[in-house]
Amino acid sequence: MTTAMNLSPTDRKRSTFMPRSDFQESRKVAQHLRGEHLWSDNIPIGMAVLTEKNEILRVNRALCRFLGYSKRELLGKTARDITHPDEWKNSATMVRKLYASGQPYSRFEKRFLHKSGKTLWGEVNSSLIDDKSRKPNYRITQIVDITERKEAEAALRLSHDRFRVALSGSPTVVFSQDRRLRYTWAYNPSPCFKIGDIIGKRDIDLYESRDAKQFMRIKKEVMRTGASRRDEVVTHFPNGEMTHDMISEPLRDEQGKIVGVICAAIDITQRKRLESALQKANEELEKKVKDRTHQLKKLTEELIRAEHMERRRIADILHEQLQQHLCGMKFRAHHLKEGSAVSATICLADKLINELDQAIHLTRTLSSNLYPQVLSCLDIKGCIEWLAVDAMNRLGLDVKTRIDVRFSLASHELQMFVFDAIRELLLNVTKHSKVNTANMRVSLMAKRLMRIQIQDTGIGFDPKQNLKENHIGLFRIQERAESLGGRLEVISHPGKGTCATLILPHRKHHP
């Protein structure tokens, strides 16, 4: 290849700063380029003419802009001066091969050093220039700035490495499919598949029909609406099934057109198995708790029944036996008084009759307190109203009663417990509140519950106190209520009174 080209005025001007031998060398090169349109200061690609010894003989403006040097500065340098130190060995090898092989050109990428010290990337394309003896002593080199591309590639590699590290050992599968739902890319596929087995295929080619239809329905919906979605999907295999938490997003091109879907699926099979096992264990535990609660309720009802039967038995003994004996003794004392003329005997008989009257009154009171007859002849509403009257007669406590609805309790044992609990709560008002009035309200709640609320405006107590240690009566009511499927709530503040709320199950009243 023999070409010729005159030196430009600028090159002639710059030659005054070059050694004479270099200027003559540059002139020879210009003569070889004469007549060819291989050189221009106006093209955006950097160009340079170099000797076999890597001396720079000529450069254009684009190369000066790329490296940050003036033409004068570059013409005094070698290729090594503008090459990154880590690249020089490989660059020199490529140049030697170019001259030694006789190939017309070479192409490679390397790093350059900007005048400021910054590293740049360039694509180097070199062609040999023959002298008159057709010996290639020079080369013309084009350098394309690929710094932005290399930086983008580095950022992409870093992003890919981070993506790979993030998913390394993770049960996450990532893949994309085109509009025909053919797999175009996959990362970290399930152990059942290899990437080569997936690419180009559709779900129907890989999964059971029922699973494939489910997957395709989801992905078509994403492409149709352009909206992402999240689903739990089950995949069936001969050796079992897998569950994935799958997020599906529309895949768009540079113009924003939907060209497919991209999905990320996390294997949650083990989690679902654990959740299933935990749910089963919870159900078994709840069943056991329910059974134990039912047993405890039955035992509590049996205990209440046994207590009331024993109290009734004792009440009957007091009323039917002891009271009759006392009445008989009183009758004989009257007979003794009437048949005696001795004043001392008459006086003694009067004392005896008085003491027997007190004993008879006490046995009647004990009998009534142990088992009031209203429990046998009144419903729960009548019993509550009777308790309010009894509190006034027996304790001097004025109870304002309000019963909002008619109701009945689930069992006779529960009615006996309510009777005892209300009597105990009213007694507590008398003993501890230091007031002689109280309010009692009965109302219904949701979930077939009833509420009995007894409130006073007395001295109250510290709610932090332990009921078991300081208020044994309240503690016993609370314990029994919980055993029967209810609860006792106590709200009290020093100087602000006390509100005791008994919540228990009830059954619908039938008039």
163: in domain: no
Residue 156 lies in a domain: no
Work out the average pLDDT over 412-424.
85
For 259-288, write each residue's pLDDT tens digit. 999 999 998 999 999 999 999 999 999 888
Q: What's the CA gap between 8 and 6, in Å, rounded?
A: 6
As a whole number, mean pLDDT of residues 98-125 equals: 91
For residues 170-183, average pLDDT: 90
382 and 366 in a common domain: no
Q: For 355-379, how does the pLDDT look when each residue is reduced to its tens digit (9 = 90+)?
A: 888 888 888 778 777 777 777 778 8
Considering the domain boundaries, does residue 21 fall inside one?
yes
343: Cα separation from own chain's centroid: 95
Q: The domain spanning residue 91 has which CATH number?
A: 3.30.450.20
Count of structural domains, the chain: 4
Residue 160 located in a structural domain: no
Beta carbons of 402 and 419 less than 8 angstroms apart = no
Are residue 212 and residue 341 in the same domain, yes or no? no
Co-location of 212 and 254 in the same domain: yes
pLDDT of 280: 92
89 band by pLDDT with thresholds 50, 70 and 90: very high
The strand ranges marked E within 327-448 are 398-403, 408-409, 437-445
Q: Are residues 385 and 499 in the same domain?
A: yes
What is the percentage of the chain residues whose pLDDT exceeds 90?
A: 40
Residue 196 token pair:
């080569």
pLDDT over threshold 60, residue 220: yes
Domain extent, residue 457, equals 378-507
Q: Is there a domain that residue 162 lies in? A: no
The one-letter amino acid at 501? T
Which pLDDT band holds residue 1 (cuts at 50, 70, 90)? very low
Note whether 301 and 357 are same-domain residues: yes
The pairing of strands 229-237 and 183-187 is: unpaired
Report the pLDDT value the prediction gives residue 105, as an integer from 0 to 100.
82
DSSP secondary structure string for all residues of 268-330: -HHHHHHHHHHHHHHHHHHHHHHHHHHHHHHHHHHHHHHHHHHHHHHHHIIIIIIHHHHHHHH
User: Mind listing the pLDDT tens digit for each residue in 425-441?
Assistant: 999 899 888 899 999 99
Regarding whether 363 and 396 lie in a shared domain, the answer is: no
Domain stops at, among 215, 243, 267: 267
Determine which of 121-135, 208-222, 239-253, 351-365 has the lowest per-residue pLDDT on average.
121-135
Residues 302 and 350 in one domain: yes
In this structure, what CATH number is given to the domain that contains residue 485?
A: 3.30.565.10
User: Which of 267, 292, 313 is the last residue in one of the domains?
Assistant: 267
Looking at residue 28, what is its pLDDT? 53
438 falls within a domain: yes
Q: Do 314 and 428 belong together in one domain?
A: no
Angle between helices 380-390 and 412-428 (to 10 degrees): 20
Whether residues 279 and 315 fall in one domain: yes
The single-letter DSSP state of residue 496 is S
Same domain, 500 and 388: yes
> Residue 300: pLDDT above 60?
yes
Which of 342, 370, 398 marks a domain boundary? 370
Answer yes or no: is 77 within a domain: yes
Q: Is the residue at 219 inside a domain? A: yes
Q: In whole angstroms, give the CA distance from residue 503 to residue 454.
A: 12
**One domain for residues 345 and 227:** no
What band does 4 get if pLDDT is binned at 50, 70 and 90? very low
The better pLDDT of the pair 290, 319 is held by 290
Report the pLDDT value the prediction gives residue 22, as an integer from 0 to 100: 47
Residue 213 has pLDDT above 90, yes or no: yes
Please indicate, yes or no, whether residues 13 and 134 belong to a single structural domain of this protein. yes
